[in-house]
Amino acid sequence: MKIYGISGLGADKRVFDALTLDVELIPIDWITPNKNEAIEAYSKRLSSIIDTKNDFSIIGVSFGGLIATEISKILKPKITILISSAHTKNELRPIFLLFGKTKLIKLIPTFLFDPPRWIAKYLFDAQNSALLNKILDDTDLTFVKWAIHELTNWKNVTQLENVIKIHGTHDKLIPPRGNTKTELIDKGGHFMIVDNAIEISEIINRKVESITALNKKI
């Protein structure tokens, strides 16, 4: 079984490099959003890379988890794994949704979506700050602005059947909340996909193994 990985807001496939999985991981590169494109339409376009003829699963990190959720509503993977992310809009910080209602994001100059590195390090609670800085340096700010707008205006309340969250107890950006089944990483921050890669890999491998074993019985 293949796993397709969707990285975080403005991030790229480098966030998956530290994972050691027992199955093939295929990172999905971001595509450029169309003007005023909604997250649902964007997710449908992005999903075209996925081979649905064979069993597959999806991993979504941070904002990528929202995309993974939207794709999963369409394609029905074996399992959807959300890392440092949310399953429905009710699992996001209320202040995010409140900010979305103000419609101010589109008025903010694009260059302001590039945070000072010391603030980013604090918010992401990153141990590997060098990699975080490299990713932020390469970030497309126009994409970030679009993504933040879609995150703060996310409408999803659909509960997926086969979904699990992996969340850090110290995540400042998207704290663990809601009733979705969650594997907690003690003291994990928002950048734990890199900083806690060993623990996360073990959880993912265990989940995939259980799915594979179940399929063999069927």
The pLDDT tens digits of the residues spanning 48-102 come to 999 999 999 999 999 999 999 999 999 989 999 999 999 999 999 999 988 888 8
The whole-angstrom separation of Cα 34 and Cα 15 is 25
For residue 118, what are the CA distances in angstroms to 91, 128, 132?
26, 13, 11
Distance of CA 202 to the CA centre of its chain: 18
pLDDT for 1 = 86
Q: Which residues of the chain have pLDDT under 50?
A: none
Spell out the domains of the chain, with CATH numbers in brackets.
Answer: 2-217 (3.40.50.1820)
Is the torsion defined by CA of 52, 55, 61, 67 positive or negative? positive
Q: Which two tokens stand for residue 31?
A: 């595509």
Element (DSSP H or E) covering residue 183: strand 182-185
Question: Are 6 and 182 within 8 A, CB to CB?
Answer: no
pLDDT for 217 = 57
Global confidence as pTM: 0.93
pLDDT for 99 = 87
Q: What share of the chain is helix, strand, coil (3-state, %, to 5)?
A: 45, 15, 40
The whole-angstrom separation of Cα 28 and Cα 6 is 6
- Give the gyration radius of the chain's Cα atoms: 16
pLDDT for 12 = 82
The whole-angstrom separation of Cα 196 and Cα 108 is 34
Residues near 32 by beta carbon (within 8 Å), at least 6 away in sequence: 143
The whole-angstrom separation of Cα 218 and Cα 209 is 14
